[in-house]
A and B are shown apart, each in its own frame.
Chain A
Amino acid sequence: AQSVTQLDSQVPVFEEAPVELRCNYSSSVSVYLFWYVQYPNQGLQLLLKYLSGSTLVKGINGFEAEFNKSQTSFHLRKPSVHISDTAEYFCAVRAGGYQKVTFGTGTKLQVIP
């Protein structure tokens, strides 16, 4: 079975400051990893995904994430946040093949002007 843990339910950060949203996963097999963003009253939008290859993945809106197999982590980072980044961020994992995607409980990023 696979699972995802997002330990931080809320992360406040000042505008233009850096941010890191943490994600840890567990799986007995190789995985694909995803970060989604959900703006208020909207569906989820894919930010980035790790499939294989380089462990540093760059996504949209200036976000990036680093896959660390030894620590089973896939933390999301942005060097300088904007007010518009205020949203909820979900980490997700899927084992290879046709397994379902399992989502974490989400982290609400609140950017303070």
Chain B
Amino acid sequence: EAGVVQSPRYKIIEKKQPVAFWCNPISGHNTLYWYRQNLGQGPELLIRYENEEAVDDSQLPKDRFSAERLKGVDSTLKIQPAELGDSAVYLCASSLVPGGEYETQYFGPGTRLLVL
């Protein structure tokens, strides 16, 4: 069974440029998460989807970040324009069921972003 797929794995851009990350969750997983992991820190939730619906985007900086999950499968996370402080690893995760004791999140390898 394929795991969570993310691309690109690495991205270097100049500040003020746009950037986009793509995530393909495990087949059949309805819940999808985007996390940001700063250097030396644990992951922090940006947004959670249940199917196509963003059910928790309270931590997403909406002035420059946007996300979508068309058709409830793949998802993209966009930053426009990028700032120096956006340099981090962006992790995507998926789970079969949302919440509850049976929820287990499976993580992708992440996209490492460097903003110069």
Is this pair of chains taken from one and the same complex? yes
Residues of A within 8 A of B (CB): 4, 9, 32, 36, 41-46, 49, 51-52, 90, 92, 97-101, 103-106
Q: Which of these, B4, B40, B99, B107, contacts A98 with CB under 8 Å?
A: B99
Q: Are A46 and B56 in contact (CB under 8 A)?
A: no
Q: Are A106 and B41 in contact (CB under 8 A)?
A: yes
Can you pick out 22 interface pairs between chain A and chain B where the beta carbons lie within 8 Å of each other? Answer: A4-B42, A9-B40, A41-B9, A41-B109, A41-B112, A43-B6, A43-B107, A43-B108, A43-B110, A44-B91, A44-B93, A46-B105, A97-B100, A98-B100, A99-B99, A100-B48, A100-B56, A103-B44, A105-B40, A105-B41, A105-B42, A106-B42
Q: Within 8 Å CB of A36, what residues of B?
A: 107
Q: How far is the CA of A69 from the CA of B91 in the complex (A)?
A: 31
Q: Which of these, A43, A49, A90, A98, contacts B109 with CB under 8 Å?
A: A43
Q: Are B45 and A100 in contact (CB under 8 A)?
A: yes
Write the chain B residue with the least CB distance to A49: B104
Q: Are A45 and B42 in contact (CB under 8 A)?
A: no
**Is B63 at the interface (CB under 8 A from chain A)?**
no
Q: Within 8 Å CB of A103, what residues of B?
A: 42-44
Q: Within 8 Å CB of B56, what residues of A?
A: 100
Most chain B CB atoms below 10 A, which of A44, A46, A103? A44
Q: Interface size bucket, B side?
A: 20 to 34
Q: Are A101 and B105 in contact (CB under 8 A)?
A: yes
Interface residues of B in 22-79 (CB under 8 A from A): 40-45, 48, 55-56
Interface residues of B in 68-104 (CB under 8 A from A): 91, 93, 98-101, 104
Q: Within 8 Å CB of A90, what residues of B?
A: 42-43
Q: How far is the CA of A92 from the CA of B41 in the complex (A)?
A: 12
Most chain A CB atoms below 10 A, which of B4, B45, B93, B105? B105
Most chain A CB atoms below 10 A, which of B4, B43, B107, B109? B43
Q: Are A52 and B91 in contact (CB under 8 A)?
A: no
Q: Within 8 Å CB of B43, what residues of A?
A: 44, 90, 103
Q: How far is the CA of A106 from the CA of B42 in the complex (A)?
A: 6
Q: Within 8 Å CB of B108, what residues of A?
A: 43
